[in-house]
Amino acid sequence: MAEAAAALGQFDFAGDDHVVPFQVEGLDVRGRAVQLGPMLDAILERHHYPAPVARLLAEVVVLTVLLGTSLKFDGKFTVQTKGDGPVDLLVADFSTPENVRAYARFDHALLNKAIAAGETEPEQLLGRGVLAFTIDQGKFGQPYQGIVELDGTSLEEIAGVYFRQSEQIPTRVRLAAAELFDRDDAGKPRHRWRAGGLVAQFLPEAPERMRQPDLHGGDGDTGGRPHGEDDAWTEARSLVETIDADELTDPLVGTERLLFRLFHERGVRVYEPRAVFDRCSCSRDKIKGVLKGFTAEEIEASQENGEIAVTCEFCSTTYRFEPTELQPAE
């Protein structure tokens, strides 16, 4: 907690690209909130994604950052979508303690058709498929993966289903992305991306208070709900749902100011923010190690103009190798 709790009134204390943990003791709620600016802008602009794709990937990056910064061990947290829509693949990963990278793959023809038809909502771009959350503890444990169906609902709702199925913790997630057009200090036009998000979880001391209404069972389910929702969580969830998308991305609001607006009557407390950075985990040595596993025929087929060039899909860095570098030592 240290100095951060006392700094709640110092609005804009954390700033962009810093995750702010918070607690609302009066509602038994804990969570994290973030506004992403330069870090996100760097990830999106290097690929020159069309606006609908960039906005969708921005939401996935926010979700990854919010959940990844909760890891209590050295490892990697990955969020990946795979669907039959124009944007068939989104992947973002967070490597402890602070590194983020992300990538989107899409079909240009299908995307242009969707844009022309005005079908650019996230659920329309993703289509049907799956959203996978993967936690990798490296050599200290087996990877864990939770999979949720992409069923035509928003990423916010799908993330909530994930928590309900895998951790059985009442959770509300909010995500937003915005494209900004302004001018820099020299008066030149400038284009930027921003995004923000918040995750709130109900964690009372008495586990039985975490009971939630059953998920709908599909055809034939009459909608009966054997348990009511805890009043504290009902209040917290309702407050979170009042957040406007602009509040999550507006640099003039700031993370602490938003949390104060939401929960000040219940005694919200913020903790030391955690910075996140646009940093890829690729390296020349890692790629060289992969290429050394190729057969002589594969090495030959991979050459162009007498060299092998490999470009990282995440950071767009190109690594070039002479074929002789990949031959086994005699």
Q: Which of 240, 255, 278 is the last residue of a domain?
A: 278
Q: Are 317 and 282 in contact (CB under 8 A)?
A: yes
Question: Does residue 300 share a domain with residue 170?
Answer: no
| d(C-alpha 107, C-alpha 112), whole Å | 9
Question: Does residue 198 share a domain with residue 101?
Answer: yes
Q: Are 59 and 122 in contact (CB under 8 A)?
A: yes
Residue 320 within any structural domain of the chain: yes
pTM given for the model: 0.87
| d(C-alpha 158, C-alpha 59), whole Å | 12
What are 224's two structure tokens?
């009966």
Residue 31 has a pLDDT of 96
Question: Does residue 57 share a domain with residue 151?
Answer: yes
Handedness of CA 304, 306, 308, 309 (dihedral sign): negative
> Residue 201's beta-bridge partner residues?
30, 171
Q: Give residue 320's domain range.
A: 284-325
Residue 8 within any structural domain of the chain: no
Residue 306 has a pLDDT of 86
Residue 217 within any structural domain of the chain: no
Please count the other Cβ atoms lying within 10 Å of the Cβ belonging to residue 127.
18
Residue 37 has a pLDDT of 95
Question: Does residue 261 share a domain with residue 115?
Answer: yes
* Buried b or exposed e, range 246-281, using 16+ CB within 10 angstroms: ebbbbeebbbbbbbbebbeeeebbbbebbebebebe
Q: What are the average pLDDT values for consecutive 10-residue runs of the chain, which has 330 residues?
A: 43 82 95 96 93 96 96 92 96 96 97 96 92 87 88 88 84 94 82 95 81 57 60 95 95 91 93 95 92 88 89 93 74
What are 126's two structure tokens?
């993703």
Question: Does residue 317 share a domain with residue 266?
Answer: no
Residue 120 within any structural domain of the chain: yes
Three-class SS state of 92: strand
Residue whose entry in the numeric block shows the structure tokens 């915005």:
178
Question: Does residue 167 share a domain with residue 49?
Answer: yes
Residue whose entry in the numeric block shows the structure tokens 């909010």:
174
| d(C-alpha 175, C-alpha 186), whole Å | 32
- Continuous H helices in the chain: 38-45, 51-68, 108-116, 122-126, 155-166, 231-241, 245-249, 255-263, 284-291, 296-302
- φ and ψ at 6, to 5 degrees? -70, -15
Residue 205 has a pLDDT of 77
Residue 309 within any structural domain of the chain: yes
> Residue 236's beta-bridge partner residues?
none
CATH number at residue 157: 3.55.30.10
